[in-house]
Chain A
Amino acid sequence: MRVLVPFKIVADLDLLRGKKWTITNNRPEDPAFVKKIINPYDESALELALKLADNCNKHGLETELHALTIDKKQADLFLKKLIATGYNLASRFDCAVDLQFNPSAKAALIAAYLEKFGPFDLIIMGMQSSDEDNAKTPYLTAEETGWPCISGITGFNGCETGSIRVFSVNDQGTIEQTIHPPYILVVGNAPNAYLRIPTLKAIKTAAEKEIKIINLETFNITPDQLNTKVDPDLIDLVAVDNSRKSLLIEGPSAEEKVSLLYDKYLKGRLSSL
């Protein structure tokens, strides 16, 4: 089974919460200065693919895992780490075009990769990224490829026959489905899916492995073709202000603080509930 996991490196926006943001030309400057991480939903997708491979191997089914990101050299460290965790191939689309808020272009590049380096059986991807919050790329990839997709994935199992049992949670409830690839599986809030930590030995071996670098020329795509795919277009960005009264309840001990909270603010409210 050949599995492609497209993922994105993002700024760890949890480090910027509560801070004042600076916006220039409809782009925030701040994310550039904080630590980078794998987008949380993509991290789950990457780990679930590894779990699927573990499961397939148990049933004697071979798997080949590809990790793909569209990024600059900063991504190489993450790609090496993914090789160390068990990915057979790590590819980087070196694309000089700014693809922020252009999910259609990203889907087109993923589809182009699929066509050139396929066939693949599965694409597993996170449902949205923490910065753009488009929540569109997986669905546009489904449309580009003509593959069906399932969203809200929380886990899956490989079966002996090559079909896969897929678990998802959506508005309807928790659903179990048995699918035959090809499929796009869109990962939601999946418990126990933090990316595994590779061994030191695996990290050393991975350091020597090559990362596959590809670019637009590989696919005869021009930057203009990607730029025309921006729709809708981001025209304004403003900071969200969530502040409230923030009244500090103080006292010499926890007991006194709670007593103050209860007597003054909670007792009446609780009794009227």
Chain B
Amino acid sequence: MRFKVIINACSPVFLRRVEEVCAFIDAHKTLFRVNHYTDAEALVFYSQEDVEEQLAEKLPFRKIKLIKLKHYQPEPILYALEELEGQNPADLYIFTGDLAGNELAVRFASRMKSSSLVAVEKLDRQQGNMIGSKKVYSGNLLGSFHFIKKPYCLSLARGMNRIETSLPRQKKNINYFDYSTYNDERVPVQCREISKTEEQCFDKAQFVIAVGRGAGNREAVAHLERISRQLGAELGVSRPVVMNAWAPLNRLIGASGNVIAPDICLALAVSGSPPFYYGIENSKLIIAVNTDKEAPLVKAADLVIIDDYKVIIEELCKLIVKSN
């Protein structure tokens, strides 16, 4: 099976996406008929000249097309993909597990009149058919989908497993393409980055305090943020907390936010609906504190305390501070 990966290196966190893609390839080696992720061919879009060398150094693929853009926009990427791949497409394209990956997979497939599936966790071949699995019904169910028309285009689910990757520079065959002069009057007349995604706050977090709507208000969440800092934990929140603007979006945990894997996840006043749980399921130890013993997280946690989170966190704080 001929497959290629599409990477948006305009994103400052593209290397983590590359590592996710590589882990996915390695988990499907038999299906892809490769020995190693390095055997994949990659089309990599980037926007700053000074990262060119860094890209050439860091991308772990033998065959790379480095494609320069003015700045990240789906339109020039789709245009370039059509031009570079349209005549002789691969059988399958793997896009990254983020918004850009979702959009590009769907729109490229639409242009190729082929199948696309977003947020794929697993691929399989059954009776000659390519089957992709992904969560549906808000993460309550796992759906298997039969891809019908090639080239199959899929984006990965958010926060999939990662592996460390490397490949010596001399083993790479790199071709350069320039689409930075692509001109489309419909694309934005002005584009300004207000803030760049920094190294994600949860990347190295070993202790996360995850807070839900049951916290009650903005002040309570701010208080929990101070406590988290005091205890050396990172604060994560559920979607309603973000929607109520009690905490910033970069703190969101879940299927549409951060997928975390700390040693300890202390979940306070979170019900544990599947889209939230998706974000914490890789935690080694999940402790749920909830007043409702029927809350779904109670069954999905390792340890459970049924009580008011305010009392519990104050008591815990006292103990941890005392023992330090």
B-contacting 9-mer, from A81-89, A213-221, A236-244 = A236-244
Q: How far is the CB of B260 from chain A (nearest CB, A)?
A: 14
**Which residue from A135, A238, A243 sits with its C-beta under 8 Å from B102?**
A135
Question: A28 an interface residue at 8 Å Cβ cutoff?
Answer: yes
Question: A199 an interface residue at 8 Å Cβ cutoff?
Answer: no
Question: B273 an interface residue at 8 Å Cβ cutoff?
Answer: yes
Interface centre among A16, A167, A231, A233 (most CB of B within 10 A): A231
Q: Is the CB of B98 within 8 A of A170?
A: yes
Q: Is the CB of B142 within 8 A of A172?
A: no
Tally inter-chain residue pairs, CB-CB below 8 A: 274
Q: Is the CB of B296 within 8 A of A191?
A: no
Q: How far is the CB of A162 from chain B (nearest CB, A)?
A: 12
**Which residue from A101, A240, A269 sits with its C-beta under 8 Å from B263?**
A269
Question: A247 an interface residue at 8 Å Cβ cutoff?
Answer: yes
B-contacting 9-mer, from A54-62, A91-99, A202-210, A254-262 = A254-262
The digit string for B1-35, where 1 denotes a CB below 8 A from any CB of A, is 00000001011111001000000000000000000
Residues of B within 8 A of A142 (CB): 107
A interface secondary structure, majority: mixed
Query: Which B269-286 residues have C-beta < 8 A from chain A?
Result: 271-274, 277, 281, 285-286
The chain A residue sitting closest to B189, CB to CB, is A178
> With A and B bound together, what is the CA distance between A30 and B319 in angstroms?
45
The chain A residue sitting closest to B288, CB to CB, is A246
Q: Is the CB of B99 within 8 A of A171?
A: yes
Q: Is the CB of B187 within 8 A of A148?
A: yes
For the side of the interface on A, what is the size category?
Answer: 35 or more
Q: How many residues of B contact A (CB 8 A)?
A: 100
> With A and B bound together, what is the CA distance between A125 and B144 in angstroms?
26
The chain B residue sitting closest to A154, CB to CB, is B249
B interface secondary structure, majority: mixed
Q: How far is the CB of B202 from chain A (nearest CB, A)?
A: 14
**Which residue from A176, A186, A188, A247 sits with its C-beta under 8 Å from B256?**
A188
The chain B residue sitting closest to A164, CB to CB, is B188
The chain B residue sitting closest to A168, CB to CB, is B99
Q: Is the CB of A248 within 8 A of B12?
A: no
Given A139-B110, A177-B191, A258-B316, A134 and B142 contact (CB-CB distance below 8 Å): no
**Which residue from A17, A238, A248 sits with its C-beta under 8 Å from B273?**
A17
Question: B38 an interface residue at 8 Å Cβ cutoff?
Answer: no
**Which residue from B111, B189, B294 sits with its C-beta under 8 Å from A179?**
B189
**Which residue from B107, B138, B206, B281 sits with its C-beta under 8 Å from A131?**
B138
**Which residue from B148, B301, B307 sits with its C-beta under 8 Å from A244?**
B301
Question: B179 an interface residue at 8 Å Cβ cutoff?
Answer: no
Residues of A within 8 A of B17 (CB): 171
Q: Is the CB of B137 within 8 A of A13?
A: yes
Q: Is the CB of B274 within 8 A of A242?
A: yes
Question: B227 an interface residue at 8 Å Cβ cutoff?
Answer: no
Question: A200 an interface residue at 8 Å Cβ cutoff?
Answer: no
Query: Which B234-254 residues have C-beta < 8 A from chain A?
Result: 239, 242-245, 249, 252
Q: Is the CB of A240 within 8 A of B142?
A: yes
Given A179-B189, A191-B249, A258-B319, A172 and B72 contact (CB-CB distance below 8 Å): yes
Residues of B within 8 A of A265 (CB): 285, 287, 303
Residues of A within 8 A of B257 (CB): 189
A-contacting 9-mer, from B58-66, B86-94, B114-122, B168-176 = B114-122
Q: Is the CB of A233 within 8 A of B148?
A: yes
The chain A residue sitting closest to B188, CB to CB, is A177
Q: Is the CB of B195 within 8 A of A174?
A: yes
Q: Is the CB of B302 within 8 A of A247?
A: yes
Q: Is the CB of B243 within 8 A of A193?
A: yes
> With A and B bound together, what is the CA distance between A72 and B117 in angstroms?
27
Question: A270 an interface residue at 8 Å Cβ cutoff?
Answer: yes
* B interface list, Cβ under 8 A from A: 8, 10-14, 17, 72, 74-75, 98-100, 102-103, 106-107, 110-111, 114-119, 131-132, 134-149, 184, 186-197, 206-207, 232, 239, 242-245, 249, 252, 256-257, 263-264, 271-274, 277, 281, 285-287, 294-296, 298-308, 311-312, 315-316, 319-320, 323
Supplied contacts A177-B191, A189-B239, 5 more A-B pairs, CB within 8 Å: A131-B138, A143-B106, A235-B146, A254-B308, A257-B312
9 smallest beta-carbon distances between A and B, as pairs: A18-B296, A258-B315, A232-B145, A177-B188, A236-B144, A178-B190, A143-B110, A139-B106, A171-B11
14 example contacts (A-B, Cβ-Cβ < 8 A) are as follows A17-B273, A18-B296, A40-B239, A132-B136, A174-B194, A231-B147, A232-B146, A233-B146, A236-B144, A245-B302, A246-B301, A258-B312, A269-B263, A270-B264
